[in-house]
Structure 1
Amino acid sequence: MPTRLAAVVMAGGLGTRMRSSLPKHLHPLLGRRMVDWVVAAAAPLEPAPLVVVASPETADAFGDLDVAVQREPLGTGDAIRAARRAVADASEVLVLSGDAPLVTTDGLARLRAAHREAGAVATVLSFVPDDSRSYGRIMRGSDGALAAIVEAADATPEQLAVREVNSSIYMFRGDALWPALEQLTAHNAQGELYLTDAVRAIVDGGEPVAVHVAADPMEGEGINTRVELAAAAAVLRDRINAAHMLAGVTIVDPATTWIEPTVTLAPDTVVHPFTVLRGATDVATGAEIGPQVVAVDATIGAGALVGPFCYLRPGTVLGPSSKAGTFVELKNTTLGEGTKVPHLSYMGDAEIGDGTNVGAGSITVNLPHRGGPKQRTEIGRDVRVGVDTVLVAPVTLGDDAWTAAGTVVTDDVPENALVGFPPRQTVKEDRGGRRDD
């Protein structure tokens, strides 16, 4: 009979040390929620099913994932019990902690391989962190085999001195897991049902239990505070940036560049310091971004220039060799090939053709009409929008049109037209310091 792997992600706790009304596992972390990183790491192993154990308050927060509800926070052992109906028929059960977002697919694959190679009933993923903090300690016998996992709250000073700790990530043989869980009692400092006691029960029963030490200690790190959340974000940032650089992207200062995992960057893209790329942003080859740029769900064409100090909001599309320059904000706007919005402008809900130039200080006024959708501005090819032009949507500027500086455009402008000429300068002499005329 082929081996069938199931996975259970424990995400039922509230995480009170986060000092937040938002449950710990749902805190945002570089474009995903904390628990989503764990799910993303496990999914390529194709567990069937992959079950998230949630509290009643968060049971609706997981979309299309299979969810088991832990009615009361009675500990990790009780959390796995809650998932029993969904995974009881699996021959292998991978147990993950929803607050360990640094775990990787490769790390989990190595754990599974070590479990199978050892022929173990259970395998514990351990790691050796710089700071053992409140992790459960891995206690080994004289032969080096696992003797027990002792929770920090129940450990003696000698046990707390042990540096190898439990990641709360395990592989179990399915038919051995459930009997071990039935033996759990809450005779501990926390009054909870510990999954670690199920491991002890398997050891005490004489069954083989293996320990696989994570090659990268960061994979086992759990998150309990916002300080640890920020540290995890930095690790994920560095991993993402390293992968892009190895694929041919130049990131001038990786420590100040934040790129979410859903962003795509083509080779020979250049990203300057203090740039944030989010969501489904897609960057074509040869584009140069930053410094001080934020792009969210934007498409940036080949050879485009973005920044410095530029904000690309969702729906923005920059054509090849276009430019969104200094202190420019674009929202749901398309720039054609070679089109430039060089500085100090806002273009929202606009379609701008090839070869157009938008002068400094120009904006679109795109408020919705009577509660409907935002109004759009259409600007043709090779248009010259003069400085401080206001385009009140809905409005169209034809190809090769020009606007004079300071113009407010409220009606459509035909091709090859010049529009504007606001009142000319007026000089009043001999005011004598008076301010009442």
Structure 2
Amino acid sequence: MTQRYAVILAAGQGTRMKSKLYKVLHPVMGRPMIQHVIDQLQPTELDSLITIVGFGAEQVAEQIGDQSACVIQNEQLGTAHAVQQAEQLLKEKSGTTLVVCGDTPLITSDTYRALITTHEANGAKATVLTTEMPDPTGYGRVVRNASGDVERIVEHKDATDDEKLIKEINTGTYCFDNEALWEALQDVQNDNAQGEYYLPDVIEILKHRSEKVTAYLTPNADETLGVNDRAALAEAEKIMKNRINRNHMKNGVGIIDPDHTYISPDVMIEADAVIHPGTIIRGQSVIHAHAEIGPHTEIIDCVVDEATVIAHSVAKHSRIGKRVQIGPYAHIRPEADIANDAKVGNFVEIKKATIGEKSKVSHLSYIGDAHVGSRVNVGCGTITVNYDGKNKYLTTIEDDAFIGCNSNLIAPVTVGKGAYVAAGSTINKHVPDEALAIARQKQANKEGYAAKIKNRQKD
């Protein structure tokens, strides 16, 4: 089998992004562009992957980790010069070398495989990834000969009137015979206005040597988008979003309004889940069958089990069981674990707490650093007072307890099984099983005193 290598060009700073973050690290649907490129290259059975880094080398290398070898281009002298930085790793090898740009996050593994297959099947020295544009203005045109091979690539400014009518353009992604690539790179010159060494010149050099140069035309022009500024980044985000949503819908997920639903690439959603408009699902989230998420809900790194409904709420880094009702306007903070058939209602915040089966925290409450058992009712306005300014403490509410409205549970404290806490109580001692705890100031009525207050207000 032919050896296969890939070189990712990722050394540019991306000045048109107007950002301190290096271009290839800008995220598309929550994942850096360079990571999208690597993820799509990995299924192509590469023997070696090399990334050329320059600006932001440390940050880019940190993102890449051990997924690719990294080579630094200390001076940015053009794309051919960038490829030459991989000389020590590739020059003496035979096989196929794929050269791609780190700012093209939308090209799929299927397209890369088709490009490589076309190249190897034709015995070509180079193969250009091309596409057709309705308006190719500004792009290099691909001129083919009578046999369909690439005759030359003509830049727009150099094209004749007839050549400008050609809609097939060069995308900047190439396959090369590795040995032919390194021989041609030696002849690339920098006699141009920018004084740089350009990779497309390799195509011209190979043609002058009467070598075979072919092209693979991808029917999906959107894939080939290069991200050079914020506008292109937004366009890439939109294309990726639609691609992800279409895949989920093909797999049986109900997405009510795909244009206003944002699902990160690593999210898993089972068939028959329903996602409402305005929903964002990110990270490693898993949404099980018949769950209903949204509208206007954000889920980050959560597992949401079957038939759970989460509306107008935010949930992060937590596990949510089956048939749970959450929202509207609930906030599930990290390390929450909400069991089956529980309810977390409007304006409730749960943080680092377990909520047992069939328990209810229906409204206007804060439950933090707590263990709440099964079948517990937590009344409106209840607060677990977990923080003394220095340390966090645990509140335990055992099975079948009832917490009255507007109660403060000052941790560390335990409310026993089946116990009741009277409304308006501030609890700072253990409540035994089946006990009623009342901890509030005794009411005193001062007859006629309201009239005195009103008279003072008149004065």
Shared fold, TM over 0.5: yes
Number of equivalent positions: 423
Residue 372 of structure 1 corresponds to none
1:42 maps onto 2:41 in alignment: yes
Residue 347 of structure 2 corresponds to 344
Report the 3-state secondary structure (helix = DSSP H, G, I; strand = E; otherwise coil) of the residue aligned with 2:363.
coil
Unpaired segments of 5 or more residues in structure 1? 367-375
Q: Distance in 2 between matches of 1:433 and 1:84?
A: 94
Unpaired segments of 5 or more residues in structure 2? 387-393, 425-439
Q: Distance in 2 between matches of 1:262 and 1:312?
A: 17
1:429 maps onto 2:450 in alignment: yes
Q: Distance in 2 between matches of 1:382 and 1:281?
A: 27
Return closer, same or farther for 1:420/1:391 CA change in 2, 3 Å cut-off. farther
The correspondence of residues 278-293 of structure 1 with structure 2, limited to 5 A, is: 278-293=282-297
1:193 maps onto 2:215 in alignment: no
Q: Distance in 1 between matches of 2:35 and 2:256?
A: 29
Q: Distance in 2 between matches of 1:363 and 1:10?
A: 50
Identity %: 32
Report the 3-state secondary structure (helix = DSSP H, G, I; strand = E; otherwise coil) of the residue aligned with 1:8.
strand
The correspondence of residues 160-175 of structure 1 with structure 2, limited to 5 A, is: 162-175=166-179
Q: Distance in 2 between matches of 1:434 and 1:119?
A: 100
Return closer, same or farther for 1:207/1:79 CA change in 2, 3 Å cut-off. same
Q: Aligned AA for 2:345?
A: P
Deviations 1:144-198 (A, max 9, x none): 532332445x635746564322111111111100011111111123221100001
Residue 333 of structure 1 corresponds to 336
Return closer, same or farther for 1:222/1:108 CA change in 2, 3 Å cut-off. same
Contact 1:356 1:384 in 2 (8 A): yes
Q: Distance in 1 between matches of 2:191 and 2:175?
A: 25
Q: Distance in 1 between matches of 2:225 and 2:76?
A: 22
Q: Distance in 2 between matches of 1:78 and 1:184?
A: 9
Q: Distance in 2 between matches of 1:129 and 1:13?
A: 26
Q: Aligned AA for 1:285?
A: A
More deviation in 417-426 or 208-217? 417-426
Q: Once the 2 structures are TM-superposed, how far is the Cα of residue 131 of structure 1 from its aligned partner?
A: 4.0
More deviation in 217-226 or 396-405? 217-226
1:67 maps onto 2:70 in alignment: yes
The correspondence of residues 111-150 of structure 1 with structure 2, limited to 5 A, is: 111-132=115-136, 134-141=138-145, 144-150=148-154
Q: Aligned AA for 1:245?
A: M
Deviations 1:39-86 (A, max 9, x none): 111110121211111115324332112111111111110111112222
Q: Aligned AA for 2:398?
A: G
Report the 3-state secondary structure (helix = DSSP H, G, I; strand = E; otherwise coil) of the residue aligned with 2:65.
coil
Residue 406 of structure 2 corresponds to 406
- Measured on the aligned residues, the alpha-carbon RMSD in Å equals 2.1
Q: Distance in 1 between matches of 2:124 and 2:343?
A: 63
Contact 2:400 2:419 in 1 (8 A): yes
Residue 309 of structure 2: which of 305, 308, 311 is its match? 305
Deviations 1:61-116 (A, max 9, x none): 32112111111111110111112222332411011111111101111111111112
Residue 95 of structure 1 corresponds to 99
Contact 2:142 2:152 in 1 (8 A): yes
Deviations 1:352-381 (A, max 9, x none): 1111000210003x4xxxxxxxxx211111
With normalisation by structure 2, the TM-score equals 0.88
1:235 maps onto 2:239 in alignment: yes
Deviations 1:291-348 (A, max 9, x none): 00100000101111111x100012x111111121100000120111100002111000
Q: Distance in 1 between matches of 2:189 and 2:444?
A: 89
Q: Distance in 2 between matches of 1:24 and 1:81?
A: 21
Q: Distance in 2 between matches of 1:117 and 1:258?
A: 39
Q: Aligned AA for 1:48?
A: D
Q: Once the 2 structures are TM-superposed, how far is the Cα of residue 276 of structure 1 from its aligned partner?
A: 0.5
Contact 1:409 1:420 in 2 (8 A): no
Residue 372 of structure 2 corresponds to 379
Residue 370 of structure 1 corresponds to none
Q: Aligned AA for 1:326?
A: P
Instruction: Please say which structure displays the higher CA radius of gyration.
Output: 2
Q: Distance in 1 between matches of 2:145 and 2:456?
A: 94
